[in-house]
Amino acid sequence: MAFPKQLAHGSREHKLYTRGAWVAFVLFVILVAFAYVDVGTLSIGDNNYNLSVTRLTKAVAFMVAILGLQVIVGFTGQLALGQSFFFGTGAYLTAWLVADHDWPVLLTLVVVVPFCFVVGMVLGLPAVRVRGLYLALVTLGMAQVFPAIISLQQLQEYTNGAGGKLLDSDLVAPSWIPFDGIAGFLQSLPLVGDFFGDGDLSSREEERLWKFMLAIAIAGVCFWMVSNLVKSRPGRAIRAVRDNETGAAVSGINLALTKTLSFGVASALGGVGGVIYVAELGIASPLDFSLVLAINFIVGLVVGGVGTLSGAVIGGLVITLIPDWSSATQSAGFLPERWLQGPTGAFILGVLLIILTFVLPGGIVAGFRRLRARFVQVMPPVIPGAGAATTSAEPPAEMTDEDEREPTPSSTPGG
């Protein structure tokens, strides 16, 4: 078989390929979950790296927030960078409802989503007039202010100020899922069984798994909805606004409405991320939602790839695992220990952000697509009768099967 293999868009093979990828992905997620719920660490030299499922759930929370940034920055082209503001809002709303009003965690989504949506739209209104760097400035300022708002004396009774708001999650693993059975099966596999630890899972471990799966399910719904949004008519309007505002306006797109709606969607996603985060962590503390988190989200956006959905997944993992792992690294041979004790993770993220902007403006996703294009190419569907006009046009060298433009930061270094 010759590579790259060419698949026609919408053909049986293409569908098989797409579905196969999805099934593989879901299986992978389950395997990872079970592999790391128990063992939880990976040892390299003297260092133990935590890979437990709780970290992954945190990563999923970040992914949803970054997905929101993809909507507003990647697809709408607005430099609204204060996503930590909405992430924190969602987290605190949930913490308050669960701790003080005994709401089930999942039910709080019913309040968080519309609340963040509306707040996002209202705060997004100025963006109809303020653009570019100014918007970046204002939104980063909002992110900077958030911890101060939470610590306000007047909100103390709701937020518990600097001490953080504790909540008792009601998310207990349901008995109908045979966690022990699955774990037992995986453990009994030859060769790889050891990776899955041994014996039955404790109720704590089951709870972690359950939260992880819920997080994945919620995130899955969010990704599915955004992916549909992007492909829909409003989604085209959104991207038109990004690519050429004037052009979009004269084509009859309501700029103000499109922008404020994207703000709403992005903020709601930020809120959902916050809900997942606080449900896993069990506490919301003001300094968790600082400007640094906002910048970390931007790192996640860029590292994964601006304007790609899968980029949000990679981004979420990167901003969770890199700081975690670098603080877990206590000795690295060539580096003085002093360098490993400080905020090494943040340093790496900062440097990564700069380097990637240069070498891979489309993020890791673009790099991956370039690699994949060497094996599989998806051709656009052939429309009968439309061929005559376009036969002379050469097909673009590289194609993607997603209705997304590849790298958004259009400028590349070298000038």
Task: State the residues that interact with another protein by CB under 8 A.
Answer: 73, 79, 81, 126, 128-134, 136-138, 140-142, 144-145, 148-149, 151-154, 245, 255, 291-292, 295, 298-299, 302, 306, 338-339, 341-347, 349-354, 357-358, 361, 408-411, 413-415
CB of 247 to another protein, least distance (A): 14
User: At closest approach, how far in Å is the CB of 136 from another protein?
Assistant: 5
Strands 283-284 and 165-166: antiparallel
To the nearest whole angstrom, how small is the minimum distance from the Cβ of residue 10 to another protein? 31
CB of 4 to another protein, least distance (A): 24
Phi and psi at residue 49, to the nearest 5°: -100, 125
Our CB check for another protein shows the closer of 42 and 335 to be 335
d(CA 205, CA 186): 16
* C-alpha distances in Å from residue 163, one per residue of 105, 154, 166, 274, 344: 21, 15, 9, 18, 26
Nearest to another protein of 30, 149 (CB atom): 149
Cα atoms found within 13 Å of the Cα of residue 262, Cβ hemisphere only: 30
Nearer CB in complex with another protein: 214/299 = 299
Cβ-based nearer residue to another protein, 41 or 341: 341
DSSP for 136-204 reads: HHHHHHHHHHHHHHHT-GGGHHHH-GGG-EE--------TTS-HHHHHHHHHHSTTTGGGG-SSPPPHH
Closer residue to another protein, CB minimum distance, 298 or 364: 298
For the CB of residue 226, give the shortest distance to another protein in the complex, in Å.
20
Closest CA to 229 of 198, 221, 324, 157: 221
| Distance in Å from the first CA to the final CA of the chain | 42
Which are the contacts of 182, defined by CB distance < 8 A and separation ≥ 6? Answer: 30, 34
Q: Least Å distance between CB 246 and another protein?
A: 10
Please tell me the distance from the alpha carbon of residue 147 to that of residue 112, in angstroms, as a whole number: 18
Rounded to a whole number of angstroms, the minimum distance from the CB of residue 77 to another protein is 8
Q: How far is the CB of 167 from another protein (least distance, A)?
A: 24
Task: Please give the angle made by the CA atoms of 221, 227 and 231, to the nearest 5 degrees.
Answer: 145
Using only the alpha carbons of the chain, give its radius of gyration: 23
Spell out the residues 6+ positions from residue 311 whose beta carbon is closer than 8 angstroms to its own: 66, 70, 74, 301, 303, 304, 305, 363, 364, 365
Looking at residue 414, its amino acid is: G
Nearest distance in Å: CB 388, another protein: 26
- CA-CA distances (angstroms) from residue 112 to 68, 222, 257, 269? 14, 14, 22, 10
Q: Tell me whether residue 44 or residue 148 sits nearer to another protein (CB atom).
A: 148
